[in-house]
């Protein structure tokens, strides 16, 4: 999820950068047009200056040729015209210098704009590459997500077939059984895994049991423990494969699971016995402490006792 958000922000930033670049490009184009007009104006002024210099030279020659003229009126007119032409020429030279300064400044600004534009172009290319990487990553995530969905659909289909075949609902199994079954990789050997799987298979097939010809009536449920063992005594009219016993730690974690085959009938004492060697589902010795033993028939709890292991 966090990866989708990153891709969205990168794309948004690129879009805003493109808008900013477009605005700056428009300003740059306007400055470029102004710069070209300024160049044309300078060239025009230079041509005008040349014309003024030619005219100045002509008037100077005309004045020199008429300096000895006896007509003072003509001489005065020529001097005034020459003075005005000289002033105009000086003014034009100042304007040309000013325009040349502006042209130099414009050239400098143009060069700086070119450099910034090149840098932004390079930065934009880098950001585009980052976006391409993000898009590739997003595509990979989508492919993995699609594959995961397909795997889940296949597994669900398999579960549906098992439920249909055995006439039961795997979703109704106790969570502790499913958790223990899913964590079989923590057991020490394949034989232990198979033993656990066998117990769980028995637990799954419990509701399909056909050996329920007579109702089980439990009269008493006791235990006795010592160093390395704990025995359970169950007094009942009979037992069948609908019965099982679970042992939990005081925090509710399942420790051991027993079924009908683990109970043995003691004719002399007239009760059923179950001997536990204090080994848990993972093949490890259990710790001392408080435990709970639950008797279930047909998936329903009928008896429960709390007991203490002090070994």
Are residues 206 and 267 part of one domain? yes
**DSSP symbols for 240-269:** -TTEEEEEEETTS-EEEEEEGGG-EEETTT
Whether 78 and 186 share a structural domain: no
198 within some domain: yes
127 shares its domain with 183: no
Last residue of a domain, one of 129, 148, 167: 148
Is 274 found in the same domain as 200? yes
Q: Round to whole Å and give the CA distance between 169 and 148.
A: 23
Is residue 166 in a domain? no
Q: Phi and psi at residue 247, in whole multiples of 5°? A: -120, 130
Task: With respect to residue 228, please indicate whether it lies within any of the assigned structural domains.
Answer: yes
Reported as half-sphere exposure (CB side, CA atoms, 13 A), residue 157 has a value of 6
Q: Which pTM does this prediction carry?
A: 0.34
pLDDT, tens digit only, all 311 positions of the chain: 444 455 555 555 555 555 554 555 566 566 667 777 777 877 887 787 787 778 777 777 776 665 555 567 766 777 777 778 778 778 878 888 888 888 888 888 888 888 888 888 888 899 999 989 888 899 889 899 888 888 888 888 777 777 666 555 555 555 555 554 444 444 444 444 444 444 445 444 444 444 444 688 888 999 999 888 999 999 999 889 899 999 999 778 899 999 999 999 998 989 999 999 999 998 999 999 999 999 999 889 999 999 999 87
CATH number at residue 222: 2.60.40.1930
Q: Is 2 left (phi over 0), alpha (psi -120 to 50) or beta?
A: alpha
Number of domains in the chain: 2
Among the listed residues 22, 20, 27, 17, the one whose alpha carbon sits nearest the alpha carbon of residue 113? 27
- What count of other Cβ atoms lies within 10 Å of the Cβ of residue 297? 20
The answer to whether residue 196 sits within a structural domain is: yes
Residue 88 counted as domain residue: yes
CATH number of domain containing 60: 1.10.287
Q: What's the burial of 110, exposed, middle or buried (CB within 10 Å: 0-12/13-18/19+)?
A: middle
Write out the residue range of the structural domain in which residue 297 sits: 179-309
Residues 238 and 284 in one domain: yes
């Amino acid at each position: 999820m966090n990866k989708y958000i990153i891709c969205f922000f990168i794309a948004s930033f690129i879009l805003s950068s493109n808008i900013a670049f477009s605005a700056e490009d428009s300003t740059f184009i306007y400055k470029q047009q102004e710069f070209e007009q300024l160049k044309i104006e300078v060239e025009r002024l230079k041509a005008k200056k040349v014309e003024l210099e030619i005219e100045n030279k002509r008037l100077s020659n005309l004045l020199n040729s008429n300096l000895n003229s006896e007509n003072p009126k003509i001489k005065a007119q020529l001097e005034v015209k020459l003075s005005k032409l000289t002033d105009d020429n000086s003014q034009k030279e100042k304007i040309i210098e000013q325009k040349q300064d502006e042209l130099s400044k414009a050239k400098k600004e143009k060069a700086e704009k070119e450099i910034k534009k090149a840098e932004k172009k390079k930065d934009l290319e880098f950001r585009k590459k980052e976006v391409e990487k993000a898009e590739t990553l997003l595509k990979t995530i989508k492919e993995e997500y699609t594959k995961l969905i397909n795997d889940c659909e296949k597994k669900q289909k398999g579960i549906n077939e098992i439920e249909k075949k055995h006439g039961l609902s795997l979703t109704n199994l106790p969570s502790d059984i499913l958790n223990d079954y899913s964590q079989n990789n923590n057991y020490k050997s394949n034989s232990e895994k198979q033993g656990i799987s066998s117990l769980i298979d028995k637990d799954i097939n419990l509701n399909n049991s056909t050996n329920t010809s007579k109702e089980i009536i439990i009269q008493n449920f006791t235990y006795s423990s010592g160093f390395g063992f704990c025995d359970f005594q169950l007094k009942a009219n009979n037992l069948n494969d609908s019965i099982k016993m679970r042992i939990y730690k005081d925090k509710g974690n399942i420790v051991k699971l027993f079924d009908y085959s683990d109970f043995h009938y003691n004719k002399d004492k007239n009760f059923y016995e179950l001997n536990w060697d204090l080994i848990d589902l993972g093949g490890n010795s259990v710790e001392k402490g408080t435990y709970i033993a639950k008797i279930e028939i047909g998936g329903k709890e009928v008896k429960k006792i709390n007991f203490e292991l002090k070994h």
